[in-house]
Chain A
Amino acid sequence: AQSVAQPEDQVNVAEGNPLTVKCTYSVSGNPYLFWYVQYPNRGLQFLLKYITGDNLVKGSYGFEAEFNKSQTSFHLKKPSALVSDSALYFCAVRQSTRYKLSFGAGTTVTVRA
């Protein structure tokens, strides 16, 4: 079985401050991890993924994520948040022997000016 947990329903930060969105996962075998962002009434946009290699993954719009195998985490980070980063963020995992994505519940990020 595979699952993802996003422990925070909401994250609020001031513009210019660092942003972190937490994600932990549970899979058998090697995880394939993804972050997506969703704006209101829109589909999901791909931000970044971890497959193998460097634990720090850089993605779109200045986002990065750190894969931590011992803590089974894949937290999304941005050093300096923008108001336009306000959206719903989803972490997703795919178990190595399955191709269906399992999504976390989502975290709503609000960046205030």
Chain B
Amino acid sequence: GAVVSQHPSWVICKSGTSVKIECRSLDFQATTMFWYRQFPKQSLMLMATSNEGSKATYEQGVEKDKFLINHASLTLSTLTVTSAHPEDSSFYICSAQADSNAMNTEAFFGQGTRLTVV
């Protein structure tokens, strides 16, 4: 299957600082990327949908000013957690899809980023 690379795999940062997470589609062009948050032993919570060249669509309850998403190219989307606090500590996962209009195209996932805010 297609490869999605997410970096870094883990990061520890101080409270009040910002952290950027990158998501790259390595062997295909991703018109749509998704950002999820996952708490321990729980399902994935969709945070936002990112389409190349346009503003991200955030899910209800997700602060767009806190979780900045940029999708400047067809192979790269970034999530920046601004002014991070301990409650932002979580596992963040991105996924990418080649064709945003294809209902039957499976999404491919990055390996996830474990963020710990101290």
Judged by a CB distance under 8 angstroms, whether B74 is at the interface is: no
Interface size range of chain A in the complex: 20 to 34
Residues of A33-48 at the interface with B, using a CB-CB cut-off of 8 Å, are: 34, 36, 41-46
Q: Which of A41, A43, A51 counts the most B-chain CB atoms under 10 A from its CB? A: A43
Judged by a CB distance under 8 angstroms, whether A61 is at the interface is: no
Q: Report whether B104 and A32 are in contact in the complex, using a CB–CB cutoff of 8 Å.
A: yes
Q: Report whether B103 and A108 are in contact in the complex, using a CB–CB cutoff of 8 Å.
A: no
Judged by a CB distance under 8 angstroms, whether B114 is at the interface is: yes
Judged by a CB distance under 8 angstroms, whether B91 is at the interface is: yes
Judged by a CB distance under 8 angstroms, whether B77 is at the interface is: no
Q: How far is the CA of A32 from the CA of B106 in the complex (A)?
A: 9
Residues of B84-111 at the interface with A, using a CB-CB cut-off of 8 Å, are: 91, 93, 95, 97, 100-104, 106-111
Residue from B42, B97, B112 within 8 A of A43 (CB atoms)? B112
Contacts of B100 in A (CB 8 A): 99
Q: Report whether A96 and B34 are in contact in the complex, using a CB–CB cutoff of 8 Å.
A: no
Judged by a CB distance under 8 angstroms, whether A69 is at the interface is: no
Residues of A66-95 at the interface with B, using a CB-CB cut-off of 8 Å, are: 88, 90, 94
Query: CB-defined interface of B1-23 with A at 8 Å, one 1/0 digit per residue?
Result: 10010100100000000000000
A105 and B43 in contact (CB under 8 A), knowing A32-B103, A99-B32, A100-B49?
Answer: yes
Please report B residues at the A interface, Cβ cutoff 8 Å: 1, 4, 6, 9, 32, 34, 41-44, 46, 49, 91, 93, 95, 97, 100-104, 106-112, 114
> Can you add 19 more A-B contacts, CB < 8 Å, to A46-B1, A106-B43?
A36-B109, A41-B9, A41-B112, A42-B111, A43-B6, A43-B93, A43-B109, A43-B110, A43-B111, A44-B44, A46-B109, A51-B104, A90-B44, A94-B103, A101-B34, A101-B107, A103-B44, A106-B41, A108-B41
Please report A residues at the B interface, Cβ cutoff 8 Å: 32, 34, 36, 41-46, 49, 51, 88, 90, 94, 96, 99-101, 103-106, 108
